Amino acid sequence: MASVLSSLNVLYFRITFLLTISYCCFKDVNLILQNTYFLILTQAMNLPALQLPQHSGQLGLFGILFIFSALNDIVAILENNKKYLNSIVPIRLLGFFVLTGISFLWETNLFIHNNSVFIYSFLEMWINFVIYNSLREEKNEEFKLQNRFMNDSLIEEPTPFEVANNAGAATIEIIEEEEIIEK
């Protein structure tokens, strides 16, 4: 049974997410930084708000990094490299979990303790957690299918039994279910 949150769907969502951030870095980063939900979460978490000019030189570098991060997943999907994804997703999940914690707790370093780093790393942590669970579920389903105790397609009806008659010749007699129950 294919679920809606298959690892492939969530990976496509992550790729779209990263390419959207990259586009906003090139076009106008304030589309993200001035978003209402972004600002509400910033105030709720008591984080300093990051403000960048529209034509900052660092935005081009960040946009390219987001594109290459998206390409990293696209190549893994096109090659159907589940082994790579099963190994990299837990590492990414752990890394973004640590980065989220550091960005919230390290208040003296404003390079890391700001709303952009916290919200991006939190969203990456959440997306990678969903990818990890989807990959694990798919691996368990594949293991279950490969290691079934009995394959349903191999189940056949019982064959008739051979019974010897008085003359010594073997005859085939079909025993009905009612006769078996009565005995």
Q: Give the per-residue pLDDT at 49.
A: 75
- Does residue 83 lie in a domain region? yes
- Does residue 182 lie in a domain region? no
**pLDDT (mean) for 130-149:** 85
How many domains is the chain partitioned into structurally?
1
Cβ-based neighbour number of residue 124 at 10 Å: 21
Cβ-based neighbour number of residue 111 at 10 Å: 9
Going by C-alpha positions, the residue among 43, 61, 27 that lies closest to residue 119 is: 43
Residue 1: band (very low, low, confident or very high) from pLDDT cuts 50, 70, 90: very low
- Does residue 174 lie in a domain region? no
Q: Which is more confident, 147 or 169?
A: 147
Phi and psi at 35, nearest 5°, equal -65, 140
- Does residue 2 lie in a domain region? no
For residue 33, give its domain range.
7-153
- Does residue 38 lie in a domain region? yes
- Does residue 1 lie in a domain region? no
**pLDDT (mean) for 152-159:** 61
Regarding pTM above 0.85, the answer is no
162 pLDDT more than 60: no
Least confident segment among 29-38, 114-123, 148-157: 148-157
Mind listing the pLDDT tens digit for each residue in 38-88?
888 887 888 777 777 777 778 888 889 999 999 999 998 998 888 888 899
Cα 157 to Cα 25, 151, 183: the distances in Å are 66, 14, 20
Tokens of 180: 């078996």
- Does residue 57 lie in a domain region? yes
d(CA 11, CA 130): 9
Beta bridge partners of 171: 163
180 pLDDT more than 70: no
- Does residue 124 lie in a domain region? yes
d(CA 85, CA 59): 28
